[in-house]
């Protein structure tokens, strides 16, 4: 598909400098872009490429001052990075809209229903009493268990597995290999030292506009629901245990794990490789630095780092002092020597 600069500017409310008829068919990084491609400049570290790029159209910030002429047609916007993200999203929507219908072989149970303009890829399995909303894309090798509900405009990438009775809202994206609704890690110790598996009879509820990365695992609740609230964003390789609640617009980076029955508030930011124990509460707006180990509840807005995690500002002070330890040791030894010289011999 071809998009002229005028159409691009209209979609992102931009102002054109250069040829309004310049057309693009694809996207590329500014240092690699060729004629017929669209790119952007948001980070000043890449400014040099603006003057040498072969891109036909480049999106830049409205307050950016050119130091020399450019070949590309420019589209000035308030925030080039956000505008480029909007264009990528619109392009993806257009391309995905072209996918529709049911590919064979696939299995759709007689009691399953799906809406308009739905795509179901080859080797997908749709169980009994499943409900799939309008404009949802189910890619090949997806498993959707009995009684699952999937809302409108969802994207289930290849190999996603959704166990029975889970509920997926609208505009949800789940990337390849993720598992929703598997049993939690629940075992009761017995007198003989063995463990008895605890059945997990609950489900997982994922609200609207959630995105889950590849190879994540979200366990079903023992009773009730494991809940991912609207707008939350989960990276790849994340473990969410049974009965956990993740608040609205919370973001969690890769390789983090949250133990059972913990409540994470709204707007929380969790870095990569964070571990959080079970049965605690993380307050709204908390910030947890990468590789932290959180062993107790955090109040709203708290920023922590380290393992065990503690106050972020205090941690920075401790790190600053630790870097001075060699010099401090030298000074202590000098002071000890001076004290010995000043101490009278009995």
Active site residues: 242
* Residue (of 47, 44, 49, 74) closest to 59 by Cα position: 74
Starting at the edge strand found earlier in the chain, the sheet holding 263-264 runs 113-114, 131-132, 149-150, 167-168, 203-206, 225-228, 245-246, 263-264, 281-282
Backbone angles phi, psi at 260, to 5 degrees: -60, 140
Backbone angles phi, psi at 314, to 5 degrees: -65, -35
* Residue (of 139, 135, 166, 137) closest to 152 by Cα position: 135
Rounded-to-5 percentages of helix, strand, coil across the chain: 20, 30, 55
CA distance linking residue 127 with residue 112, whole number of Å: 7
Cα 118 to Cα 106, 151, 305, 335: the distances in Å are 14, 11, 45, 78
Could you tell me the end-to-end alpha-carbon distance of the chain, in angstroms, rounded to an integer? Answer: 96
Q: Exposed, middle or buried, 244 (CB in 10 Å: 0-12/13-18/19+)?
A: buried
Structure tokens at 329: 């040791």
Backbone angles phi, psi at 29, to 5 degrees: -65, 150
């Amino acid at each position: 598909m071809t998009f002229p600069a005028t159409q691009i500017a209209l979609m992102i409310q931009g102002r054109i400098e250069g040829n309004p008829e310049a057309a693009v068919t694809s996207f590329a990084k500014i240092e690699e872009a060729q004629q017929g491609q669209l790119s952007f400049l948001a980070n000043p570290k890449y400014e040099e490429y603006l003057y040498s790029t072969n891109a036909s159209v480049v999106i830049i910030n409205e307050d950016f001052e050119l130091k020399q002429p450019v070949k590309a047609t420019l589209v000035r916007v308030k925030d080039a990075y956000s505008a480029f993200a909007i264009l990528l999203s619109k392009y993806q929507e257009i391309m995905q809209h072209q996918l529709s219908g049911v590919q064979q072989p696939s299995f759709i149970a007689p009691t399953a229903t799906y809406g308009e303009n739905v795509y179901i890829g080859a080797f997908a399995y749709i169980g009994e009493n499943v409900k799939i909303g309008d404009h949802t894309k189910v890619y090949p090798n997806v498993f959707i268990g009995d009684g699952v509900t999937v809302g409108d405009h969802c994207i289930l990438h290849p190999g996603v597995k959704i166990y029975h009775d889970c509920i997926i809202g609208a505009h949800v994206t789940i990337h390849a290999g993720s598992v929703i609704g598997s049993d939690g890690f629940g075992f009761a110790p017995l007198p003989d030292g063995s463990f008895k598996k605890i059945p997990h009879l609950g489900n997982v509820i994922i609200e609207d506009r959630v995105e889950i990365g590849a190879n994540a695992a979200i366990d079903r609740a023992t009773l009730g629901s494991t809940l991912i609230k609207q707008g939350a964003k989960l990276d790849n390789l994340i473990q969410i245990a049974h009965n956990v609640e993740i608040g609205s617009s919370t973001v969690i980076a890769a390789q983090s794990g949250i133990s059972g029955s913990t409540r994470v508030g709204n707007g929380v930011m969790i870095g990569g490789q964070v571990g959080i124990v079970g049965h605690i509460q993380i307050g709204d707006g908390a910030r947890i630095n990468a590789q932290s180990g959180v062993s107790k509840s955090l109040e709203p807005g708290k920023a922590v780092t380290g393992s065990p995690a503690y106050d972020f500002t205090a941690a920075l002070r401790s790190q600053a002092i630790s870097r001075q330890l060699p010099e401090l040791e030298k000074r202590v030894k000098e002071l000890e020597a001076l004290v010995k010289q000043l101490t009278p011999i009995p």
